[in-house]
Structure 1
Amino acid sequence: MAASAPPGSRDTAIVHVVGARPNFVKAAPVVSALRGRGAHQAVVHTGQHYDDRMSAVFFRDLGLPEPDVDLGVGSGSHAAQTAALMVGLEKEFTERAPGAVVVYGDVNSTVAAALVAAKLGIPVAHVEAGLRSFDNTMPEEINRRVTDQLSDLCFATSPEAVGHLANEGIAPDRVHLVGNPMIDTLLANLDRFDADALRARLGLPERYVAATLHRPANVDDPDTVARLVARLHEIADLADVVMPVHPRGRAAFDRAGLGGHPRVRLLEPLGYLDFVALTRGAAAVVTDSGGVQEETTVLGVPCLTLRPNTERPVTLTHGTNQLVTEADLPQAVAKALDGRRDATAVDSTPPLWDGRSGERIAAVLTRWSG
């Protein structure tokens, strides 16, 4: 486990490690808040997402500084990618000797950075700590658990995350409930999410269902993909389906004939501003993404999550999110299109999802590392 003492004689520079779209969205308000406090910081992009549409465009959209270094690791199996990440990050951390490493979310870049930093004796701070699906078939769940055990500071987005960390023996003084920095970014850019302009530019209909699916459980098995495509075609009989296709699942969906329905519109991956505008303008969203569950909660858009569980249950109790099976998906979408909501839904925003999480994180980091 990482040492609990704050950095002493080290260089006090803070290194942020990001590697995939959700990391960029979460890091932006933290980097900005620390910049406002005059902190010496650097951004290391691992290159886990290396396509411009999944990576560089987010830096431009979010006003993040260009990364100080891009490791360019790229794709690969979990073992190969994580190993390459660790080799690159070890060299980077050894040369920079940072006072602290800040990691985000639950991707392979997150756990790789935590492992390398901990073994080098560099304190680790984990933004979005404590999320649990309790489904160890998800690689992200393994990444979350390992990262939290190695982290000196655990920044939690919701009260249940604090409880999970306590149940796993994380000392209370390492845990801080700060809210959700992804929502900071969303609220800061609300005026830029122009659904009408996007609809006109892409020739989209007035009413549509937005879809985004990429998790292995949904896109790796051909039989599963074929059943899912049949359900999406049923939804397209009710309303146009607009789907930016993640590179990970493109070939599988093409083979299964997803684009064969006249009311299914397949798009290339979108940048942050365009993607959230697409979500904001949708009558409903079908997804397996954790971040989309959070964004739709704040935007008030019905969200049907094609998963048996979620590490973000606060989006079920305080948002518009609902877990659905593939078999129930068309009926659930039809209900959402009719404007019917789950009777248990609560019309309130989760606590501290107020646009100031980045500043709370920056305040703790500067006190702790000072």
Structure 2
Amino acid sequence: MYNITIIAGARPNFMKIAPIIHAIQNAKDEGFSIDFRLVHTGQHYDKNMSGSFFEQLEIPEPHVNLECSGGTHAQQTANIMVAFEQDLMDHPADLVLVVGDVTSTMACALVAQKLHTKVAHVEGGIRSDDWTMPEEINRLVTDSITNYFFTTSETANKNLKQSGVHENQIFFVGNTMIDTLLKQRPNFMQPAIWFEIGLSKRSYIVMTLHRPANVDEETQLKDMIDEIISHTQDLPLVFPVHPRTAKILERLNISHPRLHTVAPLSYLEFNYLVERAKAVITDSGGITEEASVMRVPCLTLRDNTERPETIDLGTNELVGTNPKNIQPFLDKLFANQWKKGQDIPLWDGKTALRIVDSLKGVLSKG
């Protein structure tokens, strides 16, 4: 029996691992001798992650929650390493599978290698080249000690090869986040805000802002929101807000009749809004992927992106962090001149099947 330990540390990680769990269960049902243990490091506490969250994703609740939330980056990394080391010693694995770029990804990869356990990285090779982002450091460290890389794009493949990774370690499989999106799309749910303010298709804009460079600099946040309000005509702006950002908005007295701040939404509610929006304004990488697949115009308020395929092939544009950059992009949107986007290779809902097929091969070879 081959045993795989799967690591998740934050809510988006579960969207990425859900299809992999389904594919492992299918392989097991078909007679391949494989099983998994799901470890939640508890890196991000999320009150929305109840039993219904796992039911919606059709995955079991984690075998363990290491409860390593809070603290500085160093404290959290250390806490995860200490807790996961004990868990992995108690439950040895043939391979540890990590996803994305959160602190848990890096910390658990380090622990696995020091316990002589091979590591597979889902979304390996992604780069923003911005070392001020904690996620970029996590990616670089994780990929420097990974055995098998499951990649989302040819750009990621190129990044890995340039860093000295051998071609036989790289598996270009696609994007598991899109597996979940396509599977769950029929299940999207109307959030309460849809009825409360009378939203209708293509007649509102969804906003998300969470990166410290945008929300912690109070003048920057105010200038960005002022620019967005000034150039979105009469459309409602729906802004699911992290509690920390909500306090900053309140302190700055930022309010407008068209700006509707709401508590963070569930995955199914949020994507219901995105799918029907005229556009999304965000600084999130994952949302750019989902918006591109759903062909929704996306404005990214960042100076760089680790997902260039969403720009080259998708509906995403890199606006930058200067608030004055926003108007020309919104003008293009309202002139109906936004690019349509096209299919991104292997973002087809079958990524997890390709991952598990590849795992069968590498596990069988030992």
Amino acid at match of 1:356: K
1:170 and 2:168 are equivalent in the alignment: no
Q: Following the alignment from structure 2 to structure 1, what is the Cα–Cα distance between the partners of residues 332 and 196?
A: 27
Task: Write the deviation string for residues 106-143 of structure 1: whole angstroms up to 9, x where unpaired.
Answer: 01111111111111111110000111111111111111
- Cα distance in 1 for residues equivalent to 2:22 and 2:296: 28
Query: In 1, are the aligned partners of 2:99 and 2:122 still within 8 Å (CA)?
Result: yes
Q: Does 2:328 correspond to 1:338? A: no
Match of 2:247 in 1: 251
**Residue 12 of structure 1, CA deviation:** 2.5
Moved more, 49-58 or 326-335: 49-58
Q: Distance in 1 between matches of 2:302 and 2:52?
A: 28
Residue 57 of structure 1 deviates from its aligned partner by: 5.5
Residue 3 (structure 1) aligns with: none
Q: Distance in 2 between matches of 1:362 and 1:204?
A: 44
TM-score of the superposition, structure 1-length normalised?
Answer: 0.91
**CA 204–243 in structure 1, closer or farther in 2 if over 3 Å, else same:** farther
Cα drift, residue 241 of structure 1:
0.5
Question: SS of the counterpart of 1:273?
Answer: helix
| AA partner of residue 32 (structure 1) | H
Moved more, 278-287 or 45-54: 45-54
Q: Which amino acid aligns with 1:222?
A: E
Given the alignment, which residue of 76, 89, 98 partners 1:94? 89
Q: Report SS of the residue matched to 1:110.
A: helix
1:118-137 mapped onto 2 (5 Å cutoff): 118-137=113-132
Structure-2 separation of matches of 1:23 and 1:204: 32
The aligned counterpart of 1:353 is: 347
Aligned counterparts of 1:81 and 1:98: Cα–Cα separation in 2: 23
* From 47, 58, 63, the counterpart of 1:63: 58
Within the candidate set 145, 149, 152, 2:144 is matched to 149
1:248 deviates by 4.4
Shift of 1:199: 5.9
Higher relative contact order (CA 8 A, sep 6+): 1
Structure 1 residue 227, shift from structure 2 partner: 1.8
Evaluate the alpha carbon distance shift between residue 213 and residue 269 of structure 1 in structure 2; reply closer, same or farther with a 3 A threshold: same
The number of residue pairs the alignment matches comes to: 355
2:123 partner SS: strand
Assess if the C-alpha contact under 8 Å between 1:103 and 1:110 holds in 2: yes
Q: Please tell me the residue identity of whatever aligns with 1:24.
A: F
Other-structure match for 1:222: 218
How far off is 1:364 after superposition?
A: 1.1
The residue type paired with residue 65 of structure 1 is P
Relative distance call for 1:232 and 1:312 in structure 2 (3 A) is same
From the superposition, tell whether residues 256 and 57 of structure 1 become closer, same or farther in structure 2 (CA, over 3 Å). Answer: farther
AA aligned opposite 2:222: A
Equivalent residues in 2 for 1:43-54, closer than 5 Å: 43-53=38-48
Q: Can you list the C-alpha shifts for 1:61-84, whole angstroms capped at 9, x where unaligned? A: 211210000111112221111111
Q: Quote the Cα distance in structure 2 between the aligned partners of 1:132 and 1:55.
A: 32
1:43 is paired with a residue whose SS is strand
More off after superposition, 87-96 vs 226-235: 226-235
Superposed CA RMSD in Å reads 1.8
Alignment correspondent of 1:363: 357
Amino acid at match of 1:357: T
Q: Please give the TM-score of this superposition, normalised by the length of structure 2.
A: 0.92
Q: Percent identity?
A: 43
Whether the 8 Å CA contact 1:237–1:263 is kept in 2: the answer is no
